[in-house]
A and B are shown apart, each in its own frame.
Chain A
Amino acid sequence: MTSRLIDLDKVGMIYEAASGPVEALAGISLSVEPGEFVSLVGPSGCGKSTLLRIVAGLRPATAGTITVAGREVTQPIPDIGMVFQAPILLKWRTILENVLLPAELAGKDPGALRKRAFDLLEMAGLHGFADKLPRELSGGMQQRASLCRALLLDPPLLLMDEPFGALDAMTRDDMALELLRIWGERDLAREARKTVLFVTHSIPEAVFLSDRVVVMSPRPGRIAADLRIDLPRPRTVELRASEAFGRLNLEIFRTLTGRAVGATSS
């Protein structure tokens, strides 16, 4: 029996809008194993970002149970790193001070984590930018800094909410490779890698990065398909041109648009 890091059991979410109650999520059951890279794709408003925040304990679910690392989630949980669509770096702090922010917020000694912060910046290709202000960095570099911030306290779980959504297409593809490298695709055993829950609009991005792609249907968000991506790791640029990659893209596209005709699904 494999252990599970995330376990969602019939999770539902209804929120009160001015026009009455809106059902955002319904009957979401999903398990994620340690070290797995799982993407959530779906149209806007399918509740995938909400689901991410429910897993983090930042929003309460109105039905079902959420378990992370064996503990039921009822309030924000500290063992996670979060990356959002915007880098949301504090403009008055240097890159290094921004990366160290989680230590300060969590009441840990930032001095003790300086070395780790430098190592993370080095790994993210931001060596020499530690003392710069965020506005001196490009959008892609800022997003890499925010990834370093998320990794500072070495959380076992990384929650990423469309982290590359605001970047241009080329930077975006580049960042996907960077993320896999930082994640340890090449040099870490699977169990040693972080578990990643990754929300995106982009099907190719989801296929390229993930071990599994969970396709969600719009309002109320339900799981429409859960596909295993059996493409070899480490993933390479050439993979994007392969037939298998194209077939997976098409299959997810058909599921999303409701035009699935005899698509194979795992």
Chain B
Amino acid sequence: MTKFSHLGRQYWPTLVLFAFLLASWQAAVSFGGIREYLLPAPLSVWNALWHGDTSWGQHIWATTFEIIGAFFLAAGVGVALGVAIAWSPLLANALVPFLVFVNTLPKVAIAPLFLTWMGYGIFPNMLMGALIGFFPVVINTAVGLSQVEADMLDLGRVFNAPKWKIFVKIRIPNALPYILSALKITATAAVVGAIVGEFVASQRGLGYVIVTTQSSMNTSVAFAALIWISAVGLALYGAVVLVAHLWAPWAEGID
């Protein structure tokens, strides 16, 4: 109860501003003569969101599947590469310049090549999301694994602890907050990648909806798709924040 009233006190300006913007927008379209295909009124976006003749379920599902796949792919590959870099200087020397090169490529520009190589489908879009989102995970994993106090490592040496044990007991838990912090970025990047992939080549998904409605001037449906995308993105981001909170409560306030 008190928590809610506290939240109310903190967020009422946001809500008021939001309501005001919506109302002005609706008024501008209804009375200002703005055409629906340029800027649909909030009410028609609302209608498109729930009714209309778009079968939202399959599109939302396709995009969500791509985003989640991209996220886990980026997380898995990113952590593995980060561990490899922190484990062996040889691997670090071999991998880092290559990874930096890959990261400087505009990934969006590779999307048409994915179409050539893999054709239409969910997997190339997943891969695009993973490609955009994996780099921060690599860097943060490697940094988190190496940011251990020298004295702590001396403690390990005094007890003659093997390298893997130092990794498992000290370095990896130490890196966890860094990894979780990078995964928040990855969650957002996975959404971008999946949508870009759908723009280039797809037969379903929310990105596909935007591209097709744009050509048919059905702008209110494109707006509705945007709202669905942000809902999916927010849900994933929220899930990552929640997992971080439950998994590494000691790290609160690190990022």
B151 close to A (CB within 8 Å): yes
Docked-complex contact B158 and A80, CB < 8 angstroms: yes
Docked-complex contact A88 and B250, CB < 8 angstroms: no
Docked-complex contact A105 and B156, CB < 8 angstroms: yes
Given contacts A82-B154, A82-B155, A105-B169, contact A88 B149 (CB under 8 A): yes
Docked-complex contact B158 and A91, CB < 8 angstroms: no
* Distance (whole angstroms) from the CB of A175 to the closest CB of chain B: 18
Give complex CA distance A86, B155 in Å.
13
Binary flags per residue of B111-152, CB closer than 8 Å to A gives 1, else 0: 000000000000000000000000000000000000001011
Give complex CA distance A84, B174 in Å.
19
Give complex CA distance A91, B157 in Å.
20
List which B139-196 residues lie within 8 A (CB) of chain A: 149, 151-152, 154-161, 165-166, 169-170, 173-174, 176
Docked-complex contact B156 and A86, CB < 8 angstroms: no
B231 close to A (CB within 8 Å): no
* Distance (whole angstroms) from the CB of B119 to the closest CB of chain A: 45
Which among B151, B159, B176 is the interface contact of A105 at CB below 8 angstroms? B159
B251 close to A (CB within 8 Å): yes
**Number of residue pairs across A and B with beta carbons under 8 Å?**
56
Interface residues on A, range: 20 to 34
Given contacts A76-B157, A92-B250, A105-B161, contact A84 B151 (CB under 8 A): yes
Given contacts A86-B149, A90-B173, A92-B173, contact A106 B155 (CB under 8 A): no
Docked-complex contact B250 and A135, CB < 8 angstroms: yes
List which B207-255 residues lie within 8 A (CB) of chain A: 248, 250-251
Docked-complex contact A53 and B149, CB < 8 angstroms: no
Docked-complex contact B251 and A91, CB < 8 angstroms: yes
List which A70-118 residues lie within 8 A (CB) of chain B: 76-78, 80, 82, 84, 86, 88, 90-92, 101-102, 104-107
A58 close to B (CB within 8 Å): yes
A133 close to B (CB within 8 Å): yes
Contacts of A58 in B (CB 8 A): 154, 157-158
Which among B151, B155, B166, B248 is the interface contact of A92 at CB below 8 angstroms? B248
Docked-complex contact B250 and A105, CB < 8 angstroms: no
Which among A77, A90, A106, A135 is the interface contact of B161 at CB below 8 angstroms? A106
* Distance (whole angstroms) from the CB of B254 to the closest CB of chain A: 9
Q: Which residue of A lies closest to B166 (CB)?
A: A105
Contacts of B151 in A (CB 8 A): 82, 84, 86, 88
Contacts of A86 in B (CB 8 A): 149, 151
Contacts of A133 in B (CB 8 A): 250
Contacts of B152 in A (CB 8 A): 88, 90
Contacts of B170 in A (CB 8 A): 90
Give complex CA distance A135, B169 in Å.
19
* Distance (whole angstroms) from the CB of B145 to the closest CB of chain A: 14
A56 close to B (CB within 8 Å): yes
Give complex CA distance A135, B248 in Å.
13
Which among A82, A90, A104, A106 is the interface contact of B160 at CB below 8 angstroms? A106
Docked-complex contact B157 and A102, CB < 8 angstroms: no
Contacts of A80 in B (CB 8 A): 158
* Distance (whole angstroms) from the CB of B56 to the closest CB of chain A: 42
Q: Which residue of A lies closest to B156 (CB)?
A: A105
* Distance (whole angstroms) from the CB of B153 to the closest CB of chain A: 10
Docked-complex contact B250 and A76, CB < 8 angstroms: no
Give complex CA distance A133, B251 in Å.
11
Give complex CA distance A156, B85 in Å.
39
Docked-complex contact A76 and B169, CB < 8 angstroms: no
Docked-complex contact A88 and B155, CB < 8 angstroms: yes
Docked-complex contact A106 and B159, CB < 8 angstroms: yes
Contacts of A101 in B (CB 8 A): 155, 169
Given contacts A78-B160, A90-B170, contact A105 B155 (CB under 8 A): yes
Closest 6 CB pairs of A and B: A105-B159, A105-B161, A106-B159, A84-B151, A91-B250, A76-B157
| Chain B contacts to A: CB under 8 angstroms | 149, 151-152, 154-161, 165-166, 169-170, 173-174, 176, 248, 250-251
For the complex with contacts A92-B248, A106-B159, 14 further pairs of A-B residues with Cβ separation under 8 Å are A56-B158, A58-B154, A77-B158, A78-B158, A82-B158, A88-B149, A88-B151, A90-B170, A90-B173, A91-B251, A92-B173, A92-B251, A106-B160, A107-B161
A-B contact pairs, 14 of them (CB 8 A): A78-B158, A78-B160, A88-B149, A88-B152, A90-B173, A90-B174, A92-B248, A92-B250, A101-B169, A104-B165, A105-B161, A105-B166, A105-B169, A133-B250
